[in-house]
Chain A
Amino acid sequence: MKRFRRGVPALLLALGLAVLAMPEVAAWLMGGTQGPYPAARLLDLALDHAALSLAGVLPAGLLGLVLGVVVTRPGGRGLRPAADAAAAVAQAVPPIVVVALAVPAFGFGWAPTILALMLYGIMPVLRATVGALEAVPPETRLAAEAVGLSPRQVLQEVELALAWPLVLDGLRVALVLAVATTAVGALAGAATLGTPIVIGLQNQNQVLVLQGAAATAALAFLADALLLMAVPARD
């Protein structure tokens, strides 16, 4: 029950923002003369947007998780500074720059955006994974080894089992960032909730800008709420 309650505020915010993105509401608020973006097409864009976000954040999460495990193993500890630095650089580069630079290489469409999301999403998951694995009490790890768990069993049954809630927290941060960032993909020609924003800016139609922005934020909060409800509550 507790874990469902944790997601409620984000869920309510998502709902409010979704209402704001509805054509009638946005048009009434902005008092625009030009037509708003139809609700059905906005919903299509939202689905594309969500799919593109997941396509970027899932490999990023996987990579962050694997890197986090590798740099906390006895054999991989030397890689830790390099991995930290690489993840920090990847996050320091604005996604819009990655998208712009990736278009000549990958062409228009999903690929440049996925690349940007991947680079952007690794660090939160890597940080969370390393932090969570390092927080496992050393005596618990020693006990696991001493009673005869193999290194792989120590990792799966003890370390990851204990680290999991924190890793999911990192994944949640990465997902929310990804959903918000995916709007940039519209510049590379991907159909996302950024599309109405781009069109609105080009045609000076503030209603479209508001709709796109509100819908993107609504989706980000929805993702946040869903993952909050999926993660077991810690006490």
Chain B
Amino acid sequence: MIAQPVIAIEGVTVRFGTTDALRDVTLHVKAGEFCALVGPSGSGKSTLMRLVNRLVVPSAGQVRVRGQDVATLPAPALRRSIGYAMQSVGLFPHRTVAENIGTVPRLLGWDAPRIARRVEELLALLRLDPAMGVRLPRALSGGQAQRVGIARALAADPDILLMDEPFGAVDPITRRELRAETRRIHAETGKTILLVTHDPEEALELASHVVVLRDGRIEADGAPADLVAPDAAPFVRELLGGGQPGLRWLSLLPARGALDPRPAPVGAAMLARNASLADALSVLAESGDEALGMEGEKGSVRAEGILGARR
């Protein structure tokens, strides 16, 4: 039996006035995938994401969520079942942090003690001070507000989470923290996450499935390593490659895949088991050795093996 994709976008065209925001787009996202939609501004990535919770209605084609055509579902109920975090955060300025986080549970009719417990859990999950619950959003820093926005999206424990450039408006350090937080939450909860970003590095770092858009069409759709591989489409390689597509490609391949049966020389530097080929290359460059060992493995990782990734 083939697993049903949890999000299925089938031949969708979205027309705003006379321009097509999306043209005949088909995309399947499997349960538990972390899928990043990446592309230049105006490429249609936000529009594509908003099809999922029916903030955007297709002019042609069909959108199915958990196997159901979203056009047949009441929009508010559909949206309450899907988490949504956005770039401008969109916290309700007249409601406290706790009230903001508790919005969807309240709409779903949870009782007050259950909402309060859930808010407390989420403040802890997003590493926010529990005393912050009584504050109004204007008293928060940009990073805190983003965390609250993500907490609000997670409040009713939805199996699908939509994130529209959720790290867009914060400084680089906070951004890195929030990315790590998101990766951790994905690993811990196994939710299906759809992330819109214009930052290719972010897409490659976080996602297990990357979709590249240009002018309302999908240019590429696959695992991160496949999209920067030497045989990938030039536009995609250029967008995702960051000027050194070869190195970025190696950074997405596990060093374990290049293990050689020959043992590592005595005293050779050791790689961690989850190191990438780029990590191996970096250590080789520093050590000047020809081969490296790997923790818990008998064989070695050799320069010719790393550079032979293509073969």
Mark A residues whose CB is within 8 Å of B: 137, 139-140, 142-150, 153, 158, 161-162
Pair B86/A143 contact, Cβ less than 8 Å: yes
Pair A148/B80 contact, Cβ less than 8 Å: yes
Pair B76/A142 contact, Cβ less than 8 Å: no
Known: A137-B93, A146-B79, A148-B75. 5 other contacts (CB 8 A): A139-B90, A143-B92, A146-B86, A148-B77, A161-B94
Q: Distance in Å from the Cβ of B157 to the closest Cβ of chain A?
A: 14
Cβ–Cβ < 8 Å partners of B94 in chain A: 161-162
Q: Which parts of B78-96 form the interface with A (CB within 8 Å)?
A: 78-81, 84, 86, 88-94
Mark B residues whose CB is within 8 Å of A: 53, 55, 75-81, 84, 86, 88-94, 103-104, 107, 152-153
- Chain A CB within 10 A, most for which of B80, B86, B92: B92
Pair B92/A148 contact, Cβ less than 8 Å: no
Pair A147/B91 contact, Cβ less than 8 Å: no
Pair A145/B88 contact, Cβ less than 8 Å: no
Q: How far is the CA of A148 from the CA of B109 in the complex (A)?
A: 13
Pair A147/B93 contact, Cβ less than 8 Å: no
Pair B55/A143 contact, Cβ less than 8 Å: no
Q: Distance in Å from the Cβ of A139 to the closest Cβ of chain B?
A: 4
Which of B84, B88, B89 lies in contact with A147, CB distance below 8 A?
Answer: B84
7 nearest A-B pairs in the assembled complex, by CB-CB distance: A143-B90, A148-B80, A148-B79, A139-B88, A146-B84, A139-B90, A148-B76
- The closest CB in chain A to the CB of B80 belongs to A148
Cβ–Cβ < 8 Å partners of A140 in chain B: 90-93
The answer to whether residues A143 and B91 also contact, given A148-B104, A148-B107, A149-B107 and a CB cut-off of 8 A, is: yes
Cβ–Cβ < 8 Å partners of A139 in chain B: 86, 88-90
Pair A146/B152 contact, Cβ less than 8 Å: no
Pair B80/A147 contact, Cβ less than 8 Å: yes
Which of A144, A145, A146, A150 lies in contact with B92, CB distance below 8 A?
Answer: A144
Q: Distance in Å from the Cβ of A176 to the closest Cβ of chain B?
A: 27
Q: How far is the CA of A161 from the CA of B84 in the complex (A)?
A: 22
Q: Distance in Å from the Cβ of B138 to the closest Cβ of chain A?
A: 10
Which of B53, B81, B91 lies in contact with A146, CB distance below 8 A?
Answer: B53
Pair B90/A142 contact, Cβ less than 8 Å: yes
Pair B55/A147 contact, Cβ less than 8 Å: no
- The closest CB in chain B to the CB of A161 belongs to B94
Cβ–Cβ < 8 Å partners of A143 in chain B: 84, 86, 89-92
Pair A162/B93 contact, Cβ less than 8 Å: yes
Cβ–Cβ < 8 Å partners of A162 in chain B: 93-94
Q: Distance in Å from the Cβ of A166 to the closest Cβ of chain B?
A: 13
Pair B86/A145 contact, Cβ less than 8 Å: no
Cβ–Cβ < 8 Å partners of A137 in chain B: 93
Q: Distance in Å from the Cβ of A134 to the closest Cβ of chain B?
A: 16
Pair B55/A146 contact, Cβ less than 8 Å: yes
Cβ–Cβ < 8 Å partners of B153 in chain A: 147
Pair A149/B76 contact, Cβ less than 8 Å: yes
- Chain B CB within 10 A, most for which of A143, A153, A158: A143
Cβ–Cβ < 8 Å partners of A147 in chain B: 79-80, 84, 103-104, 107, 152-153
